[in-house]
Amino acid sequence: MKKILITSALPYINGIKHLGNLIGSQLPADVYARYMRATGHRVLYICATDEHGTPAELAAIEDNLTVEKFCENMWNIQKKIADEFYISFDYFGRSSSKHNHELTQHFATKLWENDFLIVYSGNFGISHPLEIIIKASKKFKRGIKVLMIGEGAKSKSLKLLAKKLKVPSSCLKFLNPMPLELVPTIYKSANLSIVAIDGPSAKSSLPSKTFTSLMCGTPIYVLAPLESDLAKIVQKYNCGIITEINNQSEIKVTEIINSISKNYEYFEKMSLNALSASKFFTEKNSDKLVEKIL
């Protein structure tokens, strides 16, 4: 006997659901739940109305109701429809409920306490000293995870280095490049992003992932010379950590990450600083800079 948790797509609160919604989400999950129960498994089939977002607000205005009252009315209607079709929910709740808010905050806190996510997303280029992260990751404390997302000239050598050092997959994972539209989501899910550049490139370029991190409010771990523009930006806005590239870099990265991974107040401050800094790097300001140079 297994314990099985089942859910289906949460129906939006605005509008009456039609047969397509039922057939496309709740009914298949209901069939699976019934089958699993019939074969002796312990099943919990849950669902809820999705009551967040602009559509609910607009629908409430159209009905001349408060959002709370509109959502309450629509939840009763959707619950009645599900009951009349004998959908075998064990629990049909509401995303706006106090209970759901408390559970969401509880699980988010537990994830934060148990895991610390470091992300590098971009080109594995020859000017990017990513070997430092690979070597340091083997000595990170339990719960600290590194995602290396991308490809490039160093892809093969970095993966071989991780294999040679026997870095556990629970600590370090390589992923193929992600669609551009998913990049902000990846950065927002991370506690820390890596931006690394060395050699002549450090003096003449600024990785675009710097601005993605700032926009997403993700503190940056810089691996670059102190005189680089990258290091100067992070230092000026106090939105991350800087480690210079030398034979002690691996040791410093390991020590710093292990010592700060549970410092929630520190990362909250760095995150706010990153968001504040992002306001200075806009398209309008870029145009002004180009005009000044030209």
Query: Looking at 47, 62, 96, which one is the last position of a domain?
Result: 96
Whether residue 244 contacts residue 129, with contact meaning beta carbons closer than 8 Å, is answered with: no
Q: How many CB atoms lie within 10 A of CB 53?
A: 12
Domain that holds residue 77: 3-96
Q: How many CB atoms lie within 10 A of CB 82?
A: 19
Q: How does the average pLDDT of the chain come out, rounded?
A: 88
pLDDT above 90 as % of the chain: 60
> Cα-flanking dihedrals φ and ψ of residue 119, to 5°?
-125, 135
Same domain, 132 and 251: yes
Query: Looking at 62, 96, 130, which one is the last position of a domain?
Result: 96
Amino acid sitting at position 188: K
- CATH number for the domain spanning 266: value is 3.40.50.2000
DSSP assignment letter at 22? I
pLDDT score at 111: 62
Q: Is residue 102 part of a domain?
A: no
User: Is pLDDT at 155 greater than 60 in this prediction?
Assistant: yes
pLDDT score at 14: 84
Among 207, 216, 257, 262, residue whose Cα is nearest residue 239: 216
Domain count, the chain: 2
pLDDT score at 99: 80
pLDDT tens profile 12-27: 888 777 788 788 889 9
**Burial category of 124 from C-beta neighbours within 10 Å (exposed 0-12, middle 13-18, buried 19 and up):** buried
Mean pLDDT of 163-175: 92
pLDDT above 70 as % of the chain: 93
pLDDT tens profile 180-235: 877 888 888 889 999 999 988 888 888 989 999 999 899 999 999 999 999 999 99
pLDDT score at 22: 84
- Report the C-alpha gap between 3 and 144 in whole angstroms: 29
pLDDT tens profile 243-282: 999 999 999 999 999 999 888 888 889 999 999 999 888 7
Query: Looking at 32, 66, 96, which one is the last position of a domain?
Result: 96
Among 62, 65, 72, residue whose Cα is nearest residue 95: 72
Task: Provide the token pair at 57.
Answer: 């607000």
Q: Is residue 116 part of a domain?
A: yes
Mean pLDDT of 108-115: 66
Same domain, 89 and 112: no
User: Is pLDDT at 126 greater than 80 in this prediction?
Assistant: yes
- CATH number for the domain spanning 69: value is 3.40.50.620
Q: Is residue 101 part of a domain?
A: no
User: Is pLDDT at 108 greater than 80 in this prediction?
Assistant: no
Top mean-pLDDT range of 3-17, 148-162, 256-270: 148-162
Residues for the chain: how many in total? 294
pLDDT tens profile 71-98: 999 999 999 999 999 999 999 999 988 8
Residues 6+ apart with CB under 8 A from 49: 10, 11, 12, 13, 71, 74, 75, 78, 93, 94, 95
Q: Is residue 288 part of a domain?
A: no
- Cα separations (Å) of 95 from 28, 49, 103, 121? 22, 6, 11, 32
